[in-house]
Structure 1
Amino acid sequence: MARLLSLRLNAPVSVAYASGEGPTPTEASSARHTTGHPDVSLATHLLAPGHFAHTLTRTPARWTSSPLGTHPSVAELALRRYDEAAVWRTEVNGPARAHGERRHVAEGEGAHDCGGHAASAASTRQG
């Protein structure tokens, strides 16, 4: 995601995490400021307002994006990913043995772990 955002903005982008291991958005924003980028933005990957969205507004970034919210594209993507995971799970693991049984998809292809709530710190392009 950071690479795609960097290409789109033609500006350096780094990954930060509102929770979990890795640099925090405050650390990433401060690092961008330290390297001579006064205008830093946070592109959040949050679905709804709440604790993390509020916390991210208190970083040294000049701009912070709003949560993705209830945009129909987000709901469609979530449903499509659910359907893909259900098909993959059935093909690889077979159907669940009991109602409510949980199986983790982490061992197979298509499994992604963001390691926390992600945000990207981007330096805005000058000129």
Structure 2
Amino acid sequence: MSKQAAPGPDLATVPCCAPLTSRRVPTETARALAPAFKALGDPVRLQLLSMIASAEGGEICVCDLTPAFDLTGPTISHHLKVLRDAGLVDAERRGTWVWYRARPAVLGRLAALLAVAPTAHSPAPADAP
């Protein structure tokens, strides 16, 4: 039996919803976005996504990602596969190397869900001056 997960919905097409602080997240949206949040629950994957999303030109070679960590190549490949399977990045093989790009529409969906508008009764953020 294959360990490969069945492809989920294209997160870029999941209907966006109001921030979770304003109303309940619809079940379908929660099911679609949860794997992306779960993938980001690992510090290495969060750093990898940050490196990919902030890469000059919008993409980065795996050959530039691997040296940034004290991990083996197969471990980095596993983390990148989790990010791909979660719909957070796209990958393209060019010759020997694989190049990664973040999916801005998906990141926008996650950000929109977590957006918090200040309210009259909410305390100031801890990092506010």
Q: Same fold (TM over 0.5)?
A: no
TM range (shorter): under 0.3
Q: Structure 1 length normalisation: TM-score?
A: 0.27
Higher share of residues assigned helix: 2
In the superposition, the TM-score normalised over structure 2's length comes to: 0.27
RCO greater where, 1 or 2, for CA within 8 Å and sep 6 or more? 1
